[in-house]
Amino acid sequence: MNIKGIFYVVTKDYMVTSFGEDRWKAFMTRLAEKDKYFANKTLMAVTPIPAEKLIVLFDEMCGEFFNNDKSRYELFGKTGAKYALGPGGPYHSYMNTKDLKQFIEFSVPKIWQAYFDGGKITTQLENNVAHVKIIGIPIRHAAFERCVLGYFQQTIKVFGKKSIAKQVRSIASGDNEIYFTYELKDA
């Protein structure tokens, strides 16, 4: 499964803003020595990146910048959504609907498809709870699942709602799907 390079571009921008260009370049040089995929490669917003390589990048960033704190994956997801779906972001047009049910059930799956070339997502709004289920992805990585959880939580926030996110099922834990619920609150 591939992930659009926008995840890389947004993460790089966040890291450069937070830690500086020199530290980012030094990190990428060390990463390229460990994993040749990152050597002499220009990663753009539309570049398809193998999911396992993005996970390598995020794992190494957690080690280098965040004392190996894998909870930062959720932050990477939230940062990505804020940039990509906010005003001027490349996927801001998905935010044009004002109907919450239409947004959850039609826009959220389109956002998934804009990023990932694998997996099937189903969404449903029921009694002010958004249900997000993802099947058919080859990634068994708990921190990656937290990145996706954070991304969709921020997506809901950009739409104008707060939410309490909960992971119900996890492929990384042996389930056959990723299943998140988001209890929606007014912003």
pLDDT of residue 41: 86
Name the amino acid, one letter, at 8. Y
Kind and range of the H or E run holding 146: helix 142-159
The whole-number average pLDDT for the span 87-112 is 91
> Which domains does the chain possess?
2-73 (no CATH), 94-186 (3.90.1520.10)
Instruction: Decide if pLDDT at 187 tops 70.
Output: no
Instruction: Decide if pLDDT at 180 tops 80.
Output: yes
Nearest to 145 by CA among 73, 89, 43: 73
Instruction: Decide if pLDDT at 15 tops 80.
Output: yes
What are the respective helix, strand and coil percentages of the chain, to the nearest 5? Answer: 50, 20, 25
Classified as helix, coil or strand, 60 is helix
pTM of the shown model: 0.87
